[in-house]
Amino acid sequence: MKEDAFIYLASQSPRRAQLLGLLGVHHELLLAGPDEDAEALEHVLPGESPTAYVQRVTALKLDAAVARHRRLGLPPAPVLCADTTVAFGRTILGKPENRDDARRMLAMLSGRTHRVLTAVALQHGRRRHAALSVSRVRFAAVDARRIAAYVASGEPEGKAGAYAIQGRAAAFVEHISGSHSGIMGLPMFETAELLRKAGFAL
């Protein structure tokens, strides 16, 4: 792979950009335009499992990013996409609709173990590589007062499961099993493996 090689990151998440930078890979953002309804891609199908959901949404996001790359006539380079979802059993906890919804989700997770699933996909020419990271997170019992204070901070907004493990919610986490970076939104190990398949020497 040439020294000036880079990839496109199709994600608005600053956490993913930061984690990708830790791998030493130069990247450029390839974000959805105002004419694209990115939220529509995250609609859950009836009876869909969390695993099937996060893999399907990631594939759809990558399809959209590849089409965007082609439409804009950008220089060729691999395109990377990822999506993270929080699952309590078979229940998918997406981004909270409002503060009441965030409080509801956090109360559900309090004192219990849930899963965080992050799917990653990389389009390299005509080849597509994909991986899935599954981690388990146990919250300590969190009372209503602490939940309300956390929700009032605004941090749960736009976060799957209504929390960010790299923020104040870290104080709720009693135990994790799996990938901390995967819980943040981009599993480093799986992402590195996909990049190696695309010819990057990490």
User: Catalytic residue numbers?
Assistant: 83
* Residues 98/82, Cβ–Cβ less than 8 Å: no
Dihedral sign for Cα 98, 104, 105, 110, please. positive
Closest C-alpha to 55, from 119, 115, 9, 129: 119
Mapped onto helix, strand or coil, the DSSP state of residue 72 is helix
**How many distinct helices (H) and strands (E) make up the chain?**
6, 7
